[in-house]
């Protein structure tokens, strides 16, 4: 039989890329706790690589503010600053809003169908209160728009901000609500209509609204009386 020639080939990753992604994931989900001191020898053994890719990965993670390196002393996982949400979301909102505008001329029926299907999956996850799955699907939804915008600078910058959003989610600073389902639906409709100004406003609100929800959640938590036993 003839061998197919159009198969997609798996992307080969270097030891540094694999180490970086794994360490980043462990920091985001709390496997490596805030404030924890990291030993590059132990990490190298755990990941089955030499110390060189570990050290290179830690340097990249320091640039992303996930670790702090103290030369000759220690490397430590950074603390989670929940208030950083007020610094993180506005620039991400601006880039996502611009992406939605830029994506409009590049829309295809296939892209619209993919966005609608992805939002349906997102809605199912939110309604089932499977918020981790919802977070991942929400990232997929917005990534489709970023990819469609096809701006290399936005595509490079957004993931750097997005991973910090993910970390805040794991540390209970970001809450996904049903409002996002309707906003996603509206985003799709406005993109189909070619309404760049309208979709930009909705997209920006979709992200910035989380800041108000964060403060509202923590204000209510602070007001709750401490029960005695």
The secondary structure of 146-202 as a DSSP string is HHHHT-HHHHHHHHHHHHHHHHHHHTT-----THHHHHHHHHHHHHHHT-HHHHHHH
**CB-based contacts of 189, cutoff 8 Å, min separation 6:** none
- Structural tokens at position 129: 């209160």
Identify which has the larger pLDDT, 218 or 158. Answer: 158
**Would you place residue 177 in the very low, low, confident or very high pLDDT band (cuts 50, 70, 90)?**
confident
Mean pLDDT, residues 112-128: 96
Q: Find which of 80-94, 101-115, 155-169, 175-189 is predicted with most confidence, using mean pLDDT.
A: 101-115
pLDDT band at 197 (very low <50, low <70, confident <90, very high): very high
- Top-confidence residue, 3 or 97: 97
Q: What is the mean pLDDT of residues 35-41?
A: 94
């Amino acid at each position: 039989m003839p061998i197919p020639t159009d198969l997609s080939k798996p992307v080969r990753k270097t030891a540094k890329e694999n180490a970086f992604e794994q360490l980043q994931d462990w920091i985001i989900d709390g496997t490596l706790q805030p404030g924890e001191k990291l030993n590059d020898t132990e990490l190298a053994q755990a990941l089955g690589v030499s110390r060189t890719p570990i050290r290179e990965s830690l340097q990249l993670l320091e640039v992303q503010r996930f670790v702090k390196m103290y030369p000759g002393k220690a490397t430590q996982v950074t603390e989670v600053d929940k208030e950083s949400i007020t610094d993180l979301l506005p620039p991400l909102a601006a880039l996502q809003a611009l992406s939605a505008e830029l994506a409009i001329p590049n829309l295809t029926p296939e892209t619209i169908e993919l966005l609608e299907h992805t939002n349906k999956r997102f809605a199912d996850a939110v309604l089932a209160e499977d918020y981790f799955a919802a977070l991942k699907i929400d990232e997929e939804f917005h990534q489709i728009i970023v990819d469609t915008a096809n701006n290399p600078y936005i595509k490079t910058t957004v993931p750097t901000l997005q991973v910090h959003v993910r970390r805040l989610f794991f540390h209970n600073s970001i809450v996904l609500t049903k409002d996002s389902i309707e906003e996603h639906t509206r985003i799709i409709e406005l993109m189909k209509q070619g309404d760049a100004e309208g979709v930009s406003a909705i997209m920006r609100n979709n992200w910035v609204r989380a800041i108000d929800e964060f403060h509202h959640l923590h204000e209510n938590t602070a007001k709750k009386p401490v029960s005695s036993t």
